[in-house]
Amino acid sequence: LCRQVRSVAEVSALLRIPLGVVRVVIADMAAEGLVHVHQPQLEAGKPDLNLLERVLSGLRRL
């Protein structure tokens, strides 16, 4: 499922599982060392344009 970096919201949408449930499962998996969790990287407080484009694309598909 996650061979590339994905947001928790993306995982939730892909699996069609509520976001809160996915957050708990990922937190548990991280505690067991089964996944690596990274904080989003913002360049000098600027949003990631690639991420924004992906969000916009996803919204258009709804």
Q: What is the pLDDT of residues 18-58, one digit of tens each?
A: 999 999 999 999 999 999 888 877 666 777 788 889 999 99
In a domain, 3, yes or no: no
In a domain, 30, yes or no: yes
| Angle, alpha carbons 35-43-55 (nearest 5°) | 65
In a domain, 2, yes or no: no
Angstrom CA distances, 28 to 13, 47, 54, stand at 19, 28, 27
- Note the pLDDT of residue 30: 93
- Note the pLDDT of residue 34: 92
Count of the separate structural domains present in the chain: 1
**CB burial of residue 61 (10 Å; 0-12, 13-18, 19+):** exposed
Domain span including residue 47: 8-61
**Helix 8-15 with 19-31: angle, nearest 10 deg:** 120
- Give the confidence band of 9 by pLDDT, cuts at 50, 70, 90: very high
pLDDT at 12 over 90: yes
